Amino acid sequence: MIRWGRAVSAAVSLLAAVLSGTGEAMAEKGSVQKITFADINGWADDDHVAALSAFVRFCEREPTPDERFLLPTKAVCQQAHAALKQAGSKRAARQFFEQSFMPYRFKRSGFLTGYFEPELLASRDPHPDYPAPLLAKPDGLVAVNDGNRPKGWPEGSSHGRQTANGLVPMPDRSAIMDGALDDEKLELVWLKDPVDAFFVHVQGSSRLRLPDGSVMRVGYAGKAGHPYTSIARVLVKRGEGTPEQLTMSGLRDWLRENPDKRDDLFRENRSFIFFREVEMERPEDGPIGSANIPLVAGRSLAVDPGFVPFGLPVFVSAPEPKLQEDTDRSDVIASLARTLIADDSGSAIKGAARGDLFVGSGMKAGEIAGEIRHPADMTVLVPIGIQDVFLKRLSEAQ
């Protein structure tokens, strides 16, 4: 069921607020440049049907009042469904994008990484073989904004805890590792490996294989609010390796080889994530992203929603990752020149032309994701008619 009254009304209100200035003038002065589809390298070779199938997920959901994105309009969604009905016609899908959107390329080169959903061994019950818990969201955890931020609030702290005495900062990773939340019994599930548990915090979700053979999925429920720090970058600064060596697989190797230094390195990343169990109507679906819909392997892109609103297509062009010869690429990353859909976010994904490609679930996907670290050209496809709204938001986010 498609419900659009509130979304269309919001778009109209936003358009009324930007009566001054034109889209072209704002683009030329800002961080993006208006281009044509013919200017996009690799556009003609993309699988436009796959991109369109990923896009229409935003036509079948109800937005929440606090979501920060520009949804496709009802008319655009009707056109999208009509194009899909044409027997999966690649030509119809391509024409839909070219007739319904205007491409705006970021002037500065962006950066693309990859992420995945691990599948790990876990237990719902505590056990010596499963020493690494994932924690549920504590009571009172709230986002900090201009309306509730106390005077003197720590800079960069995005969340806090509402108490009888007001809003207070949450403990950071180091304090939680030392037992700051132990009395609250927040353990949701236990993992076999502390290294795996740390990477679940980075990825934000995971499929878990339980001792009885059943599968459990956990997803993001909240965060302590402290800034994210890349522990790989910490090691690079210490001279422990280069960025090329300390990809995800390289970082895992370092952690395995240095168990006595592992926990101290974890503490360098003050960010801490809380989880919830995610019901799986269809186990084959990807994890639920920040836009509250299942991610699509090879087509979902985590972005900074302050710059790129959820629901918009983004054409990304980046070099293909260097993989082992026996790695099964399948169709997920047959090419890294493709239309992705902005439908997720992450603590480490900050800035205008910054993206994180969802590769899929399982360790094979993890091997691929860990090798995606490339400069990239990024072009946002903006629905025709709301270009000025997008450009105004982009200008305000700079």
Tens-of-pLDDT digits for all 398 residues of the chain?
233 333 333 333 333 333 334 556 656 656 899 999 999 999 999 999 999 999 998 887 665 544 444 556 677 888 888 888 885 678 999 999 999 999 999 999 899 999 888 789 999 999 999 999 999 999 999 999 988 999 999 988 999 999 998 999 999 999 999 999 999 999 999 999 999 999 999 888 888 999 998 889 898 999 999 999 999 999 999 999 998 899 888 999 999 999 999 999 999 999 999 999 988 666 667 888 888 888 999 999 999 988 998 889 999 998 777 665 555 545 566 678 999 999 999 878 999 899 999 998 887 888 888 888 889 999 999 988 888 888 888 887 76
Nearest to 48 by CA among 277, 335, 339: 339
Integer angstrom CA distances of residue 291 from 13, 36, 214, 294 = 22, 28, 27, 9
Classify domain 5-114+282-397 by CATH architecture. Beta Barrel (2.40)
> Which pLDDT score is estimated for 99?
94
- In the chain, CATH 2.40.40.10 covers 5-114+282-397
On the 0-12 / 13-18 / 19+ scale of CB atoms within 10 A, 164 is exposed
SS3 state of residue 391: helix
Give the C-alpha separation, 81 to 78, whole Å. 5
CATH code reported for the domain at 119-278:
2.40.240.50
**Model-level pTM?**
0.67
- In the chain, CATH 2.40.240.50 covers 119-278
